[in-house]
Amino acid sequence: MSTALSEPSRRSFLGLGLATGSSLLLAAACGSGGMAGSGGTTPDTLKWGWDLPTSWDPVTSSAGWDVHALSLVYAGLTKHDGQGNPVPAVAESWKYSDEGSRVTFRLRSGLKFSDGTPLDATAVKKSIERGRDAPKSLIAAQLVDIKSVSAPDATTVVLDLRAPNYQIPSLFAGKTGMVVNPAAFERDPAGLATKPAGAGPYTLTSYVENSQATLERNPAYWDAANVKAANFQLFPLPDAATVIAGLQSGRYNVAQIPGSQVAAAKAAGLEVQVIPSLVVAVLDVNVTKPPFDDPNAVLALKFAVDRAALLKTQQFGIGEVSYQPFPKGYVGYDPQLEGVYAHDPAKARELLAASRYGTGAPVTITASSSGTLAQQLQAQLQAVGFKPTIETIPEAEATQIIYIQHSKALFVDAFAGRDSTAQAFQVLFGTEGLMNPGRRTSPELAAAVRTVTRTPLEDPKYPQVVQAATAAAVRTMPNVFLFTTPRILAHTKSVSALPKDTVVQRFEGVTVA
């Protein structure tokens, strides 16, 4: 699922101004360490102003962004390290057969779900099969390569695959591999939307939709010794004008802030961490719609965009100009692509003139926000000869309009990354990819992605293989990547430094004084 710019990643950098003076005065009056507005929580509580999930069931969760909240209550077979590589979690190890068509996971022994029922191989088998086979599963597409699942003993899970696929351990580090308690989904699958049943670091104790989730530490979690904060509260994304006041008053002690608030947060005595993430702003281009059914118009668009100007205005310079779907340091990042479509208005005008639509080609910029990014893009496209207009659609209807009806030529969006590189390629560029509104892909890219799935992650050539696929995608597909969106988190001095996790923000080891 895409993280459209209506998700928290978008709201964090579009149309957000500096805090008002009255908000800062209120914050100063409240003091920096008090508990006012905290709901009477104990001091040992992490209070995160971030977002609530679309569903507490990883199988029906409809936003990639949900993985951050779901990781609080579910444990996966694997998890990501700081660089996005799969490492052991519920499974302590895994091994592929020589030909890559079977993978065997060895589970830690004695694991339990938060309700005390055993988390054994049979439970994992049922959870994977539900994700693959449930009629309403939104992770089924990631599990199509799994032909069968078996549990020969309590700690062994065997997956037989339809074809070699070495991406499974990475897939199982996110929503796809979160183990859901069969006792819950066999009894009341619909109830999981508001009552998660997992074995994560925390257990949900109360939930008010669109308001607050309250959690407590799960002593049965496989890594419980590293979960330091006894309690956790999760809140929707704070308003930009009041987020600093909320941190100072004690309503939150960790919160996402926009780039516009970084200086104010530091001035207020808060710690600010800028953590690299997989989120990148992107223009989704439908090559079946004019003018982008002409390749010259697509290239003109790529050279028309001044990414550096967008980054400076939209994120106050926090992040990096991007020409590809992966950030620096991630295995899929190809350094050879830097500057590949650097801003070149003259070249853009020449390409547009060479298209069959010529100078003055009309184009509608569709956005699900009234923020300034679309307006800035409009000015840039107009400067090279396009005749752009802006259309704002309801964010609740964006997926249906853009990705189901395929009715728009150009959509302002953001990509939140995926658990595996192959999955990211499929979502963005595959013929069935959600964020590929034209539903076309190049033979060169399709072949490169097949090579990615068939190359073991530990193969020394794997980074080269992934980067070759990235290069093929950027050069043959119409998507226009703009800039990366780091995770900007402010926290009070009572909270220790947060882990710098690229894929999923985790809180193991974090203490609250």
- pLDDT category at 322 given cuts 50, 70, 90 is very high
Instruction: Tell whether the model's pLDDT for residue 3 goes beyond 90.
Output: no
Cβ atoms of 41 and 253 within 8 Å: the answer is: no
Would the pLDDT of 21 be above 70? no
Averaged over 442-447, what is the pLDDT?
Answer: 96
The phi, psi pair for 132, rounded to 5°, reads: -80, -35
Q: Which two tokens mark 150? A: 């078996």
Tell me the mean pLDDT in the region 324-348. 96
Q: What is the predicted pLDDT for the residue at 29? A: 31
Rounded distance between C-alpha atoms, residue 177 and residue 116, angstroms: 20
Give the Cβ contact number of residue 7 at 10 Å: 24
The pLDDT of residue 285: 96
Single pTM value for the model: 0.85
Q: At what angle do helices 295-304 and 372-383 cross, to 10 degrees?
A: 110
Please provide the DSSP assignment of 401-456 as one string: IIIIS---SEEEEEE---SSHHHHHHHHHSTT-TT-TT----HHHHHHHHHHHTS-
Give the pLDDT score at 82: 81
Element holding 104 (H helix, E strand): strand 102-107
Q: Are 511 and 495 in contact (CB under 8 A)?
A: yes
Q: Where does residue 95 rank: exposed (0-12), middle (13-18), buried (19+ CB within 10 A)?
A: exposed
Q: What average pLDDT does the segment 315-338 reach?
A: 95
User: What six digits make up the tokens of 353?
Assistant: 């003139």
Mean pLDDT of the chain: 90
How many other β-carbons are positioned within 10 Å of the β-carbon of residue 324? 24
Quote the pLDDT of residue 369. Answer: 80
Domains of the chain: 8-56+193-277+487-491 (3.40.190.10), 64-192 (3.90.76.10), 280-484 (3.10.105.10)
pLDDT in tens, 107-133: 999 999 999 999 999 999 999 999 999
Lowest mean pLDDT among 33-47, 118-132, 238-252, 430-444: 33-47
Asked whether the predicted pLDDT for residue 140 surpasses 60, the reply is yes
| φ, ψ (nearest 5 deg) of residue 88 | -60, 150
> Which tens digits make up the pLDDT trace of 84-113?
899 999 999 999 999 999 999 999 999 999
Integer-rounded Cα radius of gyration of the chain: 23
Mean per-residue pLDDT, 22-43: 38
Q: Specify the DSSP element, H or E, that contains 87.
A: strand 86-88
Residue 16 confidence (pLDDT) above 60: no
Residues 408/288, Cβ–Cβ less than 8 Å: no
CA distance linking residue 185 with residue 109, whole number of Å:
23
Task: Look at residue 432 and tell me whether its pLDDT is greater than 90.
Answer: no
- Token pair recorded at residue 387: 């005749």
pLDDT surpasses 90 at 43 = no
pLDDT at 9: 36
Per-residue pLDDT reduced to its tens digit, 203-236: 999 999 999 999 999 999 999 999 999 999 999 9
Q: Measured on CA atoms in the order 128, 133, 134, 136, is the torsion positive or negative?
A: positive
pLDDT of residue 37: 37
Amino acid 23: pLDDT? 33
Q: Note whether 306 and 443 are within 8 A (CB).
A: no
In the chain, % of residues over pLDDT 70: 92
Residue 41 — very low, low, confident or very high, per pLDDT cuts 50/70/90? low
Residue that wins the pLDDT comparison between 4 and 498: 498
Higher pLDDT, 353 or 502: 353
| Lowest-confidence pick of 56-70, 152-166, 440-454, 467-481 | 56-70
Encoded tokens for 345: 């208005």
381 pLDDT higher than 90 = yes
Query: What are 262-282's pLDDT values in tens digits?
Result: 999 999 999 999 999 999 999
Question: Do the beta carbons of residue 215 and residue 198 sit within 8 Å?
Answer: no
pLDDT at 345 over 80: yes
